Amino acid sequence: VTSGKVIKCKAAIAWEPKKPLSIEEIEVAPPKDHEVRIKILASGICRSDDHVLEGLKSNIKFPIILGHEAAGIVESVGRAVTTVKPGDKVIPLIVSQCRECQCCKHPNANLCVKADIRKHTGLMDDNTSRFSCKGKLIHNFLDTSTFTEYTVVNEISVVKIDDAAPSEKVCLIGCGFSTGYGSATHTAKVHAGSTCVVFGLGGIGLSAIIGCQVAGASRIIAVDINKDKFPKAKAVGATECISPQDYTKPIHEVITEMTDGGADYTFECVGITDLMVSALKSSHYGFGATVIVGVAPTGAKISLDPMLLLTGRTVKGAIFGGFKGKESVPQMVTDYLTKKINLDELVSHTFPFEKINEGFKLLRGGKCTRTVLTF
């Protein structure tokens, strides 16, 4: 029995930016009162992990255990925990839900005030970490940290899912799938018969395409500078694929012409501020809506002509597709099991955890959709 004891296990440590991750033996302390220790079974690699590793998120502290898109089994729980128990299959939540703060009580919000996503302390509520390596404190990432055999999260940052769910697939519901899918179905509320444009065809953008299709969009224009991404985009529902590099005109002019004045909904799923403005300009005068999904480097600013908004366009942004995790995650897992949604196409590679650096190489080289690591 490991309950109540420190667990020694393997984790991928990011000691500093721009260096490969190093697999080390770490010590994982037992969960405190409101905490849950989880044995990770599968974790996807998301571009947000790479943004931190590349040093683009200067407010995030190293050394750190990255990873935030996972499924696992509860190993043990703190004495105040009531919603999960040892043996439960779970997904850690990047957007926590305390159910008591103004945001949790608000029907339209999915971010929690208690676990404020802007703070990035990398620590638990008592300002300590459950992770250490060679005597050094290791920070957590997005209240989850899943590139490790064991992690500890707050009870408000984890939810039980159906035991029958295959972890190497449903782990994507922990970030990429929900983020893209929810951006279309929940944040934008794409309507049947509409025209949608998705910029960036990684795991997030492809999931946005799936959401647009499920919502009944009749045209889904997929945009990427890497044409190798086009076949997958078509497979999940894109009706047309275009590369900005094939035109001399700016991409928003190309899209405006293709769509008789602009799209109903546009989604920026890359994280480039100029592309966010292009997405807005690609939406139709009077009713177009843009959702910002991509994460820009810390401190980056958008500059735009207010006339774009004055003339009836809207811009929104959302983390995790605007979904409240505690309700939507188990529901999406059920929808996956009953084949209402399909996310299998998103997983392009499955590697053993030890090959994590190869997974990051594929991501940087534009050679994958999602790599899932299994433990």
The site for ligand CND (CB under 6 A) is made up of 46-48, 51, 175-176, 179, 199-205, 223-226, 229, 244, 269-272, 275, 293-295, 319-320, 363, 366
* Minimum CB distance to ligand CND, residue 85 (Å): 29
* Minimum CB distance to ligand CND, residue 234 (Å): 14
* Minimum CB distance to ligand CND, residue 368 (Å): 7
* Minimum CB distance to Zn ion, residue 350 (Å): 18
Does position 48 bind Zn ion by CB under 5 A? yes
Among 28, 77, 175, 293, binds Zn ion (CB under 5 A): 175
First to last CA, the chain: 20
275 touches, from ligand CND, Zn ion, none (C-beta below 5 to 8 Å by class):
ligand CND
Give the integer Cα–Cα distance in Å for 6 and 28.
Answer: 6
Span from 39-47, 212-220, 235-243, 276-284 in contact with Zn ion (CB under 5 A): 39-47
120 touches, from ligand CND, Zn ion, none (C-beta below 5 to 8 Å by class):
none
233 touches, from ligand CND, Zn ion, none (C-beta below 5 to 8 Å by class):
none
Reading the block at residue 127, the tokens are 């300002």
SS3 annotation, the chain = CCCCCCEEEEEEEECCCCCCCEEEEEEECCCCCCEEEEEEEEEECCHHHHHHHCCCCCCCCCCECCCCEEEEEEEEECCCCCCCCCCCEEEECCCCCCCCCHHHHCCCCCCCCCCCCCCCCCCCCCCCCCEEECCEEEECCCCCCCCECEEEEEHHHEEECCCCCCHHHHHHHHCHHHHHHHHHHHHHCCCCCCEEEEECCCHHHHHHHHHHHHCCCCEEEEECCCHHHHHHHHHCCCCEEECHHHCCCCHHHHHHHHCCCCECEEEECCCCHHHHHHHHHCECCCCCEEEECCCCCCCCCCCCCCHHHHCCCEEEECCHHHCCHHHHHHHHHHHHHCCCCCCHHHEEEEEEHHHHHHHHHHHHCCCCCEEEEEC
348 touches, from ligand CND, Zn ion, none (C-beta below 5 to 8 Å by class):
none
341 touches, from ligand CND, Zn ion, none (C-beta below 5 to 8 Å by class):
none
Among 40, 46, 210, 215, binds Zn ion (CB under 5 A): 46
Whichever of 48 and 76 has its CB closer to ligand CND, that residue is: 48
* Minimum CB distance to ligand CND, residue 117 (Å): 9
Whichever of 30 and 180 has its CB closer to ligand CND, that residue is: 180
Reading the block at residue 336, the tokens are 């996956």
Which residues are known to be catalytic? 46, 48, 51, 68, 175
Whichever of 272 and 304 has its CB closer to ligand CND, that residue is: 272
Beta bridge partners of 152: 37
Measured at CB, which residue is nearest to ligand CND? 202
Whichever of 175 and 236 has its CB closer to Zn ion, that residue is: 175
* Minimum CB distance to ligand CND, residue 316 (Å): 11
Whichever of 38 and 142 has its CB closer to ligand CND, that residue is: 142
319 touches, from ligand CND, Zn ion, none (C-beta below 5 to 8 Å by class):
ligand CND
- Which residues are near Zn ion by CB under 5 A? 46, 48, 175
